[in-house]
Structure 1
Amino acid sequence: MSTNKNEQPSTAKPEAKNALPQSINSEQLALIAQMFQNIPEGVFIINGQGTFEFANPMAAQLLGDNQEALIGQNILHYLHDTDRDKYMYTLLSWLDHKDSPISLGPNEVKIYRADSKTLEADLCISSLPKNIAVAENLFICVLHDLSSHKEQYNRLIKQATTDHLTGLANRLTLEESLKEHWQESVQTNQAISTILIDIDYFKLFNDRFGHVKGDKCLQKVASIIAESLPSRDCLAARYGGEEFAIILPRCQKDTAAAIAKHIQIKVNNMPFTDIGLPSDFRISVSQGIACEFNNQYRTSEALICAADTALYRAKTEGRNKISISA
């Protein structure tokens, strides 16, 4: 049963056995096959060494092999390194418990399929009654594919945390992230800055070119903002309407101002010919910056309010401006 944990399981498998396995008699095997033939879960039986004695069609499909080829192979060859070690030691420990019912799982595992693809699945192992085993312990295993669940979960998480139009974080994610970084700032006495960004005269843009092109404009500005973040710890979000927000943990005012200037230049030079507008058409943004350092603001909400006040000042001063809260 030994296997090198530093090596990925080899795709070369031993030849399948032609004879029926000796651990299960033919009548019992036929009954087992009939019971589990059409179950929409992977069901297979292994012996105490982890060798396949039986596999239903779904198990073969999930493992990327055929039923006959699986017989005689070892389940450990299909498991990821960490899972392989865990199940190897589990099977070894079970060799001394031949008369006790034993079960493990369900546990999430990563499977290396025979076709070199990977599969995330739940694996559950339980000992079979002694009247089924002829010579040794046998364990029935149920393999449940988690791929679709993971896909759906990730899709729901994305829907819940992002703005569907721009792909940036949504307002809820912004607020949660700000609170988290605020606490870090307070505990470590490091700066945290925010930038609020508003597209100038966006209502006139929509009135002149229509909401479809307005949405395209929002997406183009959002793309520039996302590309301007200095690290993955920072967050860009759609704050509402044509307004965006950036959280910059561990960034002082000067850093925030440099990022805002970069955004201003990129937006000022952003072409719109790709959405059918004149080649000389341009837009601008107004930006407000606030920075928390040395307990300047009492709460994260106060920090956002300071950035909003700075944004309002940038707009009243003529727009296409960057204003920094005192």
Structure 2
Amino acid sequence: MSWTDLAANGRILIVDDAMENIQILHHVLGDEHDVLFALDGVKALELARNQRPDLILLDAVMPGMDGFEVCAALRASAELSSIPVIFVTALSNPEDETRALEAGAMDFISKPFNVAVVKARVRTQLTLKRQADAMRELSLTDSLTGVSNRRSFSDTLDSEWRSCMRAGTPLSLVLIDIDHFKLYNDSYGHQAGDSCLQQVAAAMQRCAQRPHDMLARYGGEEFALLLPQVDASGAETVARRLLEEVATLALPHRNSPTSDHVTISMGVVCMQPGADNTSAQLVRAADTLLYEAKESGRNRYRIASYG
């Protein structure tokens, strides 16, 4: 089985201060899953943030940060709280199991464990995780265009803002408006308008190629493209590509005062997240620049960089 197949079957993080326990679990699960491991709680949280496992198998008793503290930290994190946790531990008292469940664990397996039981419970939790992810994806997707919706954008903006602040990297945002879209609907009808939105969204999605880039329908004919760890020069390159991709569609717009085909206007902002600014300021700045682009003739972008 290839690494890609293992990743598709689920990425599992094993956390235990005893390497022999990790080796046993790796032997049990490694043929079907992509397995990571950590020997302490601090490293486990770091791997969880960077690798985003689908499931964590967690020992309770570890030096320093124990399993209960790790589980509580996971549940307190907006980025990591959806990762299911199974305690795999030598503790076996009902009180220990209760404490694990109260900390946020989904299941509890006592050592020495039965291999078949471990596999079955891992399979169950991964299945539940996939179902929950699918439902969440539906709730965060715009039904017409298939890109993310505004709620998803807001959640992602907050998490990427915090992530870029920790890493000391910039965050860029492009607010996009389809020019004279009301006139388009008036000219061609709402069904054609829906088709226009779908085609423009698909064209812009081709400009969001990195895993963390995010295109969202912000409202009506307005879209937002979030570009984590992209500086002003990179954001401007993306803005130019957006103009080109939409122009390539060559969608007729006979009543547009700007062009005979559908065009877009954009406000582009790059900001260095820090203690003296907020994600709301990033959005307001992009909105102001979008207004300037529209006032100065449309089918163009305005860009600024802060910090």
Deviations 1:222-274 (A, max 9, x none): 1111110141111110000000001111101111111010010111120449x
Equivalent residue for 1:108, pick from 115, 121, 132: 121
| Cα distance in 1, alignment partners of residues 242 and 181 from structure 2 | 17
Letter in 1 for 2:191: V
Structure 1 residues 270 and 244, CA gap change in structure 2 (3 angstroms): same
Structure 1 residues 87 and 5, CA gap change in structure 2 (3 angstroms): farther
Deviation (angstroms), 1:282: 1.9
Mapped contact 1:311–1:322 kept (Cα < 8 A): yes
Deviation (angstroms), 1:155: 4.0
Structure 1 residues 252 and 106, CA gap change in structure 2 (3 angstroms): closer
User: 5+ unaligned residues in a row in structure 2: which ranges?
Assistant: 1-26, 33-108, 253-258
| Cα distance in 1, alignment partners of residues 167 and 133 from structure 2 | 32
Q: Computing the radius of gyration over CA atoms, which structure comes out larger, 1 or 2?
A: 1
Letter in 2 for 1:265: E
Deviation (angstroms), 1:188: 2.0
Aligned ranges for residues 1-20 of structure 1 at < 5 Å? none
Q: Percent identity?
A: 33
Deviation (angstroms), 1:310: 0.5
| Cα distance in 2, alignment partners of residues 182 and 202 from structure 1 | 31
The answer for the alignment partner of 1:90 in structure 2 is: 113
Aligned ranges for residues 212-231 of structure 1 at < 5 Å? 212-231=191-210
| Cα distance in 2, alignment partners of residues 247 and 181 from structure 1 | 9
The answer for the alignment partner of 1:174 in structure 2 is: 153
Aligned ranges for residues 160-199 of structure 1 at < 5 Å? 160-199=139-178
Q: Does 1:308 align with 2:268?
A: no
Aligned ranges for residues 206-285 of structure 1 at < 5 Å? 206-272=185-251, 282-285=261-264
Aligned length: 197
| Cα distance in 2, alignment partners of residues 266 and 251 from structure 1 | 20
Mapped contact 1:290–1:324 kept (Cα < 8 A): yes
Deviation (angstroms), 1:150: 6.6
For the aligned residue pairs, the C-alpha RMSD in angstroms reads: 3.4
Deviation (angstroms), 1:7: 9.1
Mapped contact 1:191–1:292 kept (Cα < 8 A): yes
Deviation (angstroms), 1:311: 0.4
Letter in 1 for 2:193: G
Deviations 1:13-44 (A, max 9, x none): xxxxxxxxxxxxxxxxxxxxxxxxxxxxxxxx
Secondary structure (helix, strand or coil) at the match of 2:203 reads helix
The answer for the alignment partner of 1:25 in structure 2 is: none
Deviation (angstroms), 1:156: 2.1
The answer for the alignment partner of 1:138 in structure 2 is: none
Q: Does 1:323 align with 2:302?
A: yes
Letter in 2 for 1:180: S
Deviation (angstroms), 1:195: 0.1
**Structure ranking higher in helix proportion:** 2
TM-score, normalised to structure 1, is 0.53
The answer for the alignment partner of 2:96 in structure 1 is: none
Secondary structure (helix, strand or coil) at the match of 2:270 reads strand
The answer for the alignment partner of 2:54 in structure 1 is: none
Deviations 1:104-149 (A, max 9, x none): 6895344xxxxxxxxxx47xxxxxxxxxxxxxxxxxxxxxxx96x6
Mapped contact 2:172–2:228 kept (Cα < 8 A): yes
